[in-house]
Amino acid sequence: MRRPGIAVALASVTTLVLAGCATDTPTPTPSQSGATADAGTGAQSKFFVQADYDREIALLGATATGPADRPWEQVLDPRPVDTAKYKKPGPYKICFSNAALNNPWRQVGYKTMQAEVEAQKALIKEFVHVDAEGKDPKQITDINDLLGKGCDALIVSPNTTATLTPAVETACAKGVPVIVFDRGVDTDCPVTFINPIGGYGFGHVGAEFLSQKVPSGGKILALRILPGVDVLETRWSAAKVQFDKAKVNVVGVEFTDGDPAKTKTIVTNYLQRHGTIDGIWMDAGATAVAAVEAFQDAGKPLPAINGEDQLDFLKLWKDKQLTAVAPTYPTYQWRTPVLAALRILRGEPVSSPWKLPQPTITQDNLDQYVDDAMPPLHYAMCGCTDLPGYPQRWK
Q: What is the DSSP string of 284-315?
A: SSTTHHHHHHHHHHHTPPPPEEE--SBHHHHH
The number of residues making up the chain comes to: 395
The secondary structure of residue 281, as a DSSP letter, is: E
Find the Cα–Cα–Cα–Cα dihedral 312, 315, 316, 320, rounded to 10°: 180
Contact 358/196 with Cβ under 8 angstroms? yes
Q: Distance between CA 109 and CA 101 in Å, rounded?
A: 9
SS3 33: coil
Q: Distance between CA 39 and CA 35 in Å, rounded?
A: 12
**Amino acid (1-letter code) at residue 153:** A
pTM for this prediction: 0.86
Contact 284/308 with Cβ under 8 angstroms? yes
User: Residue 192's pLDDT is what?
Assistant: 98
User: Residue 126's pLDDT is what?
Assistant: 98
Which residues have CB under 8 Å from 383's CB, separation 6+?
Answer: 70, 71, 72, 112, 330, 331, 332, 335
User: Residue 229's pLDDT is what?
Assistant: 84
Residue ranges in the chain assigned as alpha helix (H): 50-59, 104-119, 136-146, 161-173, 199-213, 230-246, 260-274, 288-298, 311-320, 336-345
Chain centroid to CA 206: how far? Answer: 15
Within the chain, which residues score under 50 in pLDDT? 1-39
Domains of the chain: 23-57+199-327 (3.40.50.2300), 67-196+330-358 (3.40.50.2300)
User: Residue 82's pLDDT is what?
Assistant: 98
**Amino acid (1-letter code) at residue 233:** E
User: Residue 228's pLDDT is what?
Assistant: 85
